[in-house]
Structure 1
């Protein structure tokens, strides 16, 4: 039977040790500190060990460590363990491979699966890993499976960066003379089709299952024209059965009513035909249109609004009539614009700033 070891270190009282235990982030270390405190209070070694989830011999070993090193000696020593399967440099290289994606002509797949990455790791590093291990490595690198955002193959990233960098000067060039000296409001505009061919969004379900949700196969639809001013957290929308310059004129008139009485609106929109100035498009005196670069919907935060509305209000629903679709659009839009904090969070873009 092992002899009890006296606690010879007396730089902390039992009360002080208990305070240290309450501040300790590691529960195992906190239990060891409390066990030492119980011993200092005169509790038997057997009872002190049992109260703190250890046996008497283990407590004896921690008393030795405490006498020699204090509280620092109660922490777990680093464990050697099995060396990592991949070095830090190899992990960085693998992360780059994953983010770059496969070359369909070379790799024969259009997206990486864990089994494909097993082959890549074996080829590059001569290390054989199981699919589950590869999945754990990906999570350790901060990667997870996400739904990608589509983009047009004709997009010009340089043009988009130039637009954001020169946004203030583009606004200044677009403003008419009568807007000089007025406060400038930046608005974003777009339109979305909402109809019986609805959207399916993510839901919670049992792992490995594929739950069924309703989706209509009819084709009645409406067009929701929406515009947002992130700085003022206000919006304006109309719901119409089609898109045209005349309908766009109605929407512009609605936006004009919401613009501040002494302000001028710069409306950011894409290059759709019904957005083009012409004889059929009536632009109010307090609104100026500014076109986005071609194939650049990611610059328009209204795209995020449509995603939010479809995911939370307009998906997984069957509408029997056009009137029901219109009512659903109005309800969804009003719910969004009335939540000013959410509106600002979704639509604010730091590059879209100008000084009046």
Structure 2
């Protein structure tokens, strides 16, 4: 290479090449996927961008979708002059709008006598019970097992509302200074529905049946907890009376509140069992300076420990205890294994429970 050519190569070009143009910004985020329909606004954008002369790869990038999707909607627009979905094909409904309304009305007026077969018979619906079931589901009326519950009278509702309004200003932190208590019975043996593998027609063969135990072994646990953790508990046999309850309070509640609240105000929540409200119990509370919350009757939804018992019950049943000693050991082990986070969540739920009682005018809540 001569000197002139070498110098020419080393000099910067007077007109450097222009930088590549930045890609235009996308108009939409990437589409959710193949199974989600493309929103109508993105379909319309594909058509508009195509009419502006953009390459289809750029259209796909700006519309946030794939190139095959762009081709599909451009072809769809050429044929239909629209980007709306095609009418869905399928079997036509065998009930008209008036029938659907009547089905829902009957079920709402008589919720206890409105199985699909009953509704079909009452309205003489020209459709199967299965179709009636679907119409009820569409109306938000689902078939559920009816629950047995005490009917609250006006006095019960008033006391529940009074309790809810009285403590409505308490925060979750306030409820952290409350010890919550109750009792739960446990029996030895089988519980709930049991399944057996048997041939057809042998339902009552003694090999595949069991005899109900009329006098099952039963023990009861009294327990308490606060937002911090579980408190002490005691397992006992027989019925709870005021004398036994006083001994339980002395041996279990006192060491629990001394551990949880060595100083400062704290409160005690219990239900209205006669042994809880007896003169002996009230005297014990007075002597020990315990402030008992004025808990309303028939209000398990306002006592968070009621949500502990089903958890404890299921855990104890997994032990398959064969005698009373094993049953008591299982109860004690599972009581001590209760999660502190679970207990704290229950204690902190009290403000929401009270708010729901107020919203339901004193009636029961989902808790």
Q: Under TM normalisation by the shorter chain, which class is it? A: 0.5 to 0.7
- What CA distance in whole angstroms lies between the structure 1 residues aligned with 2:326 and 2:305? 23
Q: CA deviation at 1:351?
A: 5.5
Are the aligned partners of 1:186 and 1:268 in contact in 2 as well (CA < 8 Å)? yes
5 Å matches for 1:85-124?
Answer: 85-87=95-97, 91=100, 94-95=103-104, 97-99=106-108, 101-102=110-111, 111-122=113-124
Are the structure 2 counterparts of residues 324 and 185 from structure 1 closer, same or farther at C-alpha, using a change threshold of 3 Å? same
Aligned to 1:66: 77
Q: CA deviation at 1:131?
A: 0.9
Q: CA deviation at 1:272?
A: 1.5
* Structure 2: 5+ residue stretches without partners: 1-48, 198-202, 356-367
Aligned to 2:243: 246
Aligned to 1:178: none
Aligned to 1:302: 305
Instruction: Check if 1:149 corresponds to 2:147.
Output: yes
Aligned to 2:180: 188
Are the structure 2 counterparts of residues 226 and 20 from structure 1 closer, same or farther at C-alpha, using a change threshold of 3 Å? farther
Q: CA deviation at 1:346?
A: 8.3
SS in 2 for 1:200: coil
- What CA distance in whole angstroms lies between the structure 1 residues aligned with 2:247 and 2:351? 29
Instruction: Check if 1:199 corresponds to 2:241.
Output: no
Deviation per CA, 1:171-228: give whole Å up to 9, x if none.
Answer: 99xxxxxxxxx9982343221110115532799x9xxxx9x99997361121011223
TM-score normalised by the chain length of structure 1: 0.62
TM-score normalised by the chain length of structure 2: 0.60
SS in 2 for 1:199: coil
Are the structure 2 counterparts of residues 139 and 77 from structure 1 closer, same or farther at C-alpha, using a change threshold of 3 Å? same
Aligned to 2:38: none
SS in 1 for 2:143: coil
- What CA distance in whole angstroms lies between the structure 1 residues aligned with 2:155 and 2:144? 26
Are the structure 2 counterparts of residues 169 and 293 from structure 1 closer, same or farther at C-alpha, using a change threshold of 3 Å? closer
Are the structure 2 counterparts of residues 166 and 295 from structure 1 closer, same or farther at C-alpha, using a change threshold of 3 Å? closer
Q: CA deviation at 1:69?
A: 8.6
- What CA distance in whole angstroms lies between the structure 1 residues aligned with 2:76 and 2:183? 70
Are the aligned partners of 1:268 and 1:289 in contact in 2 as well (CA < 8 Å)? yes
- What CA distance in whole angstroms lies between the structure 1 residues aligned with 2:211 and 2:57? 65
Are the aligned partners of 1:222 and 1:240 in contact in 2 as well (CA < 8 Å)? yes
- What CA distance in whole angstroms lies between the structure 2 residues aligned with 1:343 and 1:262? 20
* Structure 1: 5+ residue stretches without partners: 1-6, 24-29, 38-58, 103-109, 173-181
What is the CA RMSD across the aligned residues, in angstroms?
4.4
SS in 2 for 1:85: coil
User: Which has the higher Rg, Structure 1 or Structure 2?
Assistant: 2
Deviation per CA, 1:259-292: give whole Å up to 9, x if none.
Answer: 4222433323222221124236633625323353
SS in 1 for 2:342: helix
- What CA distance in whole angstroms lies between the structure 1 residues aligned with 2:63 and 2:334? 52
